[in-house]
């Protein structure tokens, strides 16, 4: 097997796998009624606010920290 034929075979296999992937996504449906999905959705929606609050508390804590001499 030459290098060129190897590249051609690999390219054909890659395109075939991508074609299968994109064709099967039309039939996939997300189950939004499951408990895990709802917990993840709520957690992800609150995550930016939690990160901002933690950063704010860390900044306040550092600002009022008494320096050791």
pTM of the entire predicted model: 0.47
pLDDT per position as a tens digit, 17-62:
777 766 655 556 677 888 888 888 898 999 999 999 999 999 998 8
What are the residue ranges of helices labelled H in 25-66? Answer: 35-63
Q: State how far the Cα of 40 lies from the Cα of 47, in Å rounded to an integer.
A: 10
Higher pLDDT, 40 or 4: 40
pLDDT of residue 31: 77
Task: List % helix, strand, coil for the chain (3-state, nearest 5).
Answer: 75, 0, 25
Start-to-end CA distance of the chain, whole Å, equals 73
Q: State how far the Cα of 68 lies from the Cα of 29, in Å rounded to an integer.
A: 59
The full set of domain ranges for the chain reads 1-29, 31-69
């Amino acid at each position: 097997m030459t290098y060129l034929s190897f590249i051609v075979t690999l390219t054909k296999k890659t395109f075939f796998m991508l074609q299968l992937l994109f064709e099967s996504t039309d039939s996939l449906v997300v189950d939004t009624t499951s408990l895990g999905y709802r917990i993840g959705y709520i957690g992800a929606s609150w995550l930016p606010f939690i990160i901002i609050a933690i950063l704010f508390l860390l900044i306040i804590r550092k600002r009022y920290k008494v320096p050791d001499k």
